[in-house]
Structure 1
Amino acid sequence: MENNDDKKNKNETIEWIKSIVTAVIIAVLIKTFVFNTTYVLGYSMYPTLHERDRLFSLKVPLYFSGPDRGDVIVLKAPDNTNKDYIKRVIGVAGDEVEIIDGKVYLNDQILEEDYIDGDAFTHTYNESSWIVPVGEVFVLGDNREEGASKDSRYFGCVSVKSIKGITGFRYFPFDDRFGKIY
């Protein structure tokens, strides 16, 4: 026969298990539908992001509007299914993006890019002009050194469905770059 202490311990154990299972379910739902964390490998987004930066990426905006020009996004790498890339959205559906003499033009206007290094020269590969189809975006890395970034110059426009989140906040390292990403 069970005494009161055994019953109390059993009830406490059941409550602990319920709490842990609930916490795990909530964590999985948040990670799946709300936000994720991202670790930067490489220098394709330098000077905005540095190797080993850690970022939050939000998924919620993608349910309502999709990315806007200038957003820094995390996307499934179109050329390697085991990788994610971090890039900046330059053009959205209907935009014309051109690279002429190392400068990026958006809809026939030179694009002001205060996030790249000084007078960085934007190299092209096979093409130098793109019209962004519906449901896709044109992305570039902020590092425009030749070969520094695999982006839409290399693999073309990317599907909005391949975007895993919009980054906007660097949570590590805890230095003068901590905080909002511009």
Structure 2
Amino acid sequence: MGLLTGALYACLIFYLGGWYLGMWRGNFSLLLLILTVVTLAYWLAERFHFRPARERAAERLAQQAQARRAELARQGIQQVDGDVEAARRQVLAQPWWLDWTAGLFPVICAVFLLRSFLFEPFKIPSGSMVPTLLVGDLILVNKYHYGIRLPVANTKIVENHTPERGDVIVFRYPKDTSIDYIKRVVGVPGDEVAYLNKRLFINGKPVPTQPLGEYYDEDSRRYAQMFSEQLGAVEHRVLTQKEAPPFVMAADEYPHRDQCRYTAEGVACKVPAGHYFVMGDNRDNSQDSRYWGFVPDENIVGKAFFIWMNLGNLGRIGSFK
């Protein structure tokens, strides 16, 4: 069993090393599921086989020592060498391969359940959600707000809320589901969403905005125009660049593309059932539904709601809209 456990750890290190070096893309949810199942198997084996076997061996050792002492006492020998209790503790001790498998099961299982059904951490990798979220923000995502889904398969088994306009969501990128994206929902099923001349319209009505002056983006090292935007009950801030064109360049082919019309002024789309139209708050620096289409409901991971750390700016910690 020690050799088998060593081989399993070697495979894990090889997989994580290749993932870290970019040789392949990892699936952390699947990895956690596999680790939970494997450590559970070891935990059950320890609970019902290995530990009882060690306890029986320790009991035999104690009985043999007691019988030996009784025999020596019968012969008049009272001084007996050997520390039976130390030997008994050694027999009862877990071998390393059980300590590093069965011993880790409660921790791995707790992480798996917490991450799969309650909250999952993410790191913001790009500036598409500036000024709401900055590069380096570590955020928490509520996994049950939009319903409970089976881990790995991502199949919804319990309904809850549906995404609303203004929600910031994490989802699996429709063109490559191994990648997670974060954007803001601007259109729900049935909506007519238009982004024309850098103004957002929902069902033919302009979304209320207020100019807030200029914003200096430290990552891009340039100024942008900042606006307050009201999407339903959510007031948030967006950025636009004066020099950026209003039209969408090089939009991809995607499902339901016939529901969108591209013009020199921008794009207008009818959101199909079971899908959502999402955009980044950094409007001229965001690859979003304008370029690659709608987000299917089954791709949604959860609702982003809290910045729990930013190593470069601790003042970022807190909730956001």
* Displacement after TM superposition at 1:30 (Å): 1.4
Residues 7/69 of structure 1: CA separation in 2 closer, same or farther (3 Å cut):
farther
Query: Do structure 1's residue 130 and structure 2's residue 269 form an aligned pair?
Result: yes
Match of residue 39 from structure 2: none
Residues 31/103 of structure 1: CA separation in 2 closer, same or farther (3 Å cut):
same
What is the CA–CA distance in structure 2 between the aligned matches of 1:10 and 1:55, rounded to whole Å? 47
Query: Do structure 1's residue 117 and structure 2's residue 239 form an aligned pair?
Result: yes
Q: Are the aligned partners of 2:306 and 2:318 in contact in 1 as well (CA < 8 Å)?
A: yes
Root-mean-square deviation (CA), in Å? Answer: 2.7
In structure 1, the gaps of 5 or more residues are: none
Match of residue 54 from structure 1: 138
* Displacement after TM superposition at 1:39 (Å): 0.7
Moved more, 62-71 or 113-122: 113-122
* Displacement after TM superposition at 1:7 (Å): 5.3
Match of residue 173 from structure 2: 77
Query: Do structure 1's residue 176 and structure 2's residue 315 form an aligned pair?
Result: yes
Match of residue 196 from structure 2: 100
* Higher relative contact order, chain-length normalized (CA < 8 Å, sep 6+): 1
Matches within 5 A, 1:140-155: 140-145=279-284, 148-155=285-292
Residues 39/7 of structure 1: CA separation in 2 closer, same or farther (3 Å cut):
same
* Displacement after TM superposition at 1:100 (Å): 2.3
Match of residue 28 from structure 1: 112
Residues 133/122 of structure 1: CA separation in 2 closer, same or farther (3 Å cut):
farther
What is the CA–CA distance in structure 2 between the aligned matches of 1:10 and 1:52, rounded to whole Å? 50
* Displacement after TM superposition at 1:84 (Å): 1.5
What is the CA–CA distance in structure 1 between the aligned matches of 2:182 and 2:117, rounded to whole Å? 19
Residues 24/101 of structure 1: CA separation in 2 closer, same or farther (3 Å cut):
same
What is the CA–CA distance in structure 2 between the aligned matches of 1:9 and 1:109, rounded to whole Å? 76
So what's the TM-score if we normalise by structure 2?
0.50
- SS of the counterpart of 1:24? helix
So what's the TM-score if we normalise by structure 1?
0.85
Q: Are the aligned partners of 1:90 and 1:140 in contact in 2 as well (CA < 8 Å)?
A: yes
Residues 21/119 of structure 1: CA separation in 2 closer, same or farther (3 Å cut):
same
Match of residue 166 from structure 1: 303
What is the CA–CA distance in structure 1 between the aligned matches of 2:181 and 2:119, rounded to whole Å? 16
Aligned residues: percent identity?
Answer: 30
Match of residue 232 from structure 2: none
* Displacement after TM superposition at 1:105 (Å): 0.6
What is the CA–CA distance in structure 1 between the aligned matches of 2:126 and 2:111, rounded to whole Å? 29
What is the CA–CA distance in structure 2 between the aligned matches of 1:12 and 1:122, rounded to whole Å? 70
* Displacement after TM superposition at 1:2 (Å): 2.9
Q: Are the aligned partners of 1:66 and 1:160 in contact in 2 as well (CA < 8 Å)?
A: no
Q: Are the aligned partners of 1:88 and 1:142 in contact in 2 as well (CA < 8 Å)?
A: yes
What is the CA–CA distance in structure 2 between the aligned matches of 1:91 and 1:155, rounded to whole Å? 15
Q: Considering only CA atoms, is the larger Rg found in Structure 1 or Structure 2?
A: 2
In structure 2, the gaps of 5 or more residues are: 1-59, 63-84, 148-159, 209-228, 230-235, 252-261
* Displacement after TM superposition at 1:178 (Å): 1.3
